Chain A
Amino acid sequence: GENVEQHPSTLSVQEGDSAVIKCTYSDSASNYFPWYKQELGKRPQLIIDIRSNVGEKKDQRIAVTLNKTAKHFSLHITETQPEDSAVYFCAASIRDYQLIWGAGTKLIIKP
């Protein structure tokens, strides 16, 4: 069946450094790839997404890249700050516009 694999499960980086989270999807028909951020005790919220017709999208310190041939996409956060500490989920669209979710990455920003 369809699945999304997300790595790493935990990522610890020094404040100011960059963080990269990677996801691989299985459904070649997937065409929408959102990233959600979930702070402790809060709801998941969309931070950036990418459509299958582009290879990269950037919004200030965050960017997402997509490689459709290899079926993987990545989230890049530059100049990390304490408020970036959270769990990040990737997802990929499947039939009937559902989303299938990665297992999440806990990002820890060390001061």
Chain B
Amino acid sequence: DAGVIQSPRHEVTEMGQEVTLRCKPISGHDYLFWYRQTMMRGLELLIYFNNNVPIDDSGMPEDRFSAKMPNASFSTLKIQPSEPRDSAVYFCASSSLRWTSGPYNEQFFGPGTRLTVL
């Protein structure tokens, strides 16, 4: 398996533009997570899906952010309109529940998308 795939790897845009980040999880994984990482705020969970259904979006900063997972192999994170404070590295991670002496959920991260909003 190629691992979690994200595109684009780098995105530079101007304030007010729409940005769409894409993620392909590892085949067979039924959890998908979107994270944002900045120096100031560290690693923040934005939203996660289980079996393509959004479970917890309490980390989404505001209405400008939206995420979808139309099928098990694809998810998008959209920012509209983008603002300079959205500049960060956005990671997608996927996982599948495992059972060894109880359930656990190892997350596998994609390479990230570095977003710069000018």
Which chain A residues have a beta carbon within 8 Å of chain B's beta carbons? 31-32, 34, 42-46, 49, 51-53, 89, 93, 96-99, 101, 103-104
* Chain A residue contacts of B45, Cβ below 8 A: 98, 101
- Do the beta carbons of B109 and A51 come within 8 Å of each other? no
Confirm or deny: B42 has a beta carbon within 8 angstroms of a beta carbon on chain A: yes
Q: How many A-B residue pairs have CB under 8 A?
A: 54
- Report how far A34 CA is from B108 CA in the complex, Å: 12
Q: How far is the CB of A106 from chain B (nearest CB, A)?
A: 11
Nearest chain-B residue to A95 (Cβ)?
B56
A43-B97 contact in complex given A97-B31, A98-B56, C-beta closer than 8 Å: no
Classify the secondary structure of B's interface with A: strand
Confirm or deny: B112 has a beta carbon within 8 angstroms of a beta carbon on chain A: yes
Confirm or deny: B54 has a beta carbon within 8 angstroms of a beta carbon on chain A: no
- Do the beta carbons of B102 and A44 come within 8 Å of each other? no
Checking A43, A44, A96, A99 against B55 with a beta-carbon cut-off of 8 angstroms, the contacting residue is A96
- Do the beta carbons of A99 and B107 come within 8 Å of each other? yes
* Chain B residue contacts of A31, Cβ below 8 A: 102, 104
Query: Top 4 A-B pairs ranked by shortest CB distance?
Result: A97-B105, A32-B104, A43-B109, A103-B42
A43-B111 contact in complex given A96-B50, A97-B97, C-beta closer than 8 Å: yes
C-beta contact mask, B72-112 vs A, less than 8 Å → 1, else 0? 00000000000000000001000101001111111111111
- Do the beta carbons of B43 and A51 come within 8 Å of each other? no
Confirm or deny: B34 has a beta carbon within 8 angstroms of a beta carbon on chain A: no
- Do the beta carbons of B104 and A98 come within 8 Å of each other? no
Checking B48, B95, B104, B109 against A44 with a beta-carbon cut-off of 8 angstroms, the contacting residue is B109
- Do the beta carbons of A93 and B105 come within 8 Å of each other? yes
Q: How far is the CB of B28 from chain A (nearest CB, A)?
A: 16
With most chain A CB atoms within 10 A of its CB, the pick from B55, B95, B107, B111 is B107
A101-B43 contact in complex given A32-B105, A93-B104, C-beta closer than 8 Å: yes
